[in-house]
Chain A
């Protein structure tokens, strides 16, 4: 099975900061990588699919990049409503999620 490792597990940042979350796969996943945002008590929400495609209705401050085994979710200017846990998910071979990065305000 492909393992997904997210870092950091906890990130504290200030409003307006540029924030970068990382996701590393145990093998090449050929950009078959999605990002989800999960707020407390809610279902996950799809943000980015196939590494860098923005889901409809998601603010443009969210962006994704990467290739091979290394992927990144970037928030260009952190907003208070972005406080959440972010999960990456690969679908190159079955489907597996990372353990998540919890993003909080400093």
Chain B
């Protein structure tokens, strides 16, 4: 059974750097075709795709946020870390990590429960 869980601060101040950790089980990030993505959702708004890391350490970022995002993996710990610099109140959202499997592209077949991050001074 695949599970993922996000962890990190619930409150960050403007201009600070956010570090979120996705801890997963039930799959290995060294298996071909597998990846872990990050998606966020501001309160009451739509989903926004942020970043994805593949089993081979290839990475993809949202172009509009690329300068602020870094995604890394620690295969031995079954963790993926997302950092976002220069946080702003508009970055207030629930942040989800999700298991990516190959479906002709990126399908996010299992999601974490999400973690709400509030940006406020």
Is the pairing of A and B real?
A: no
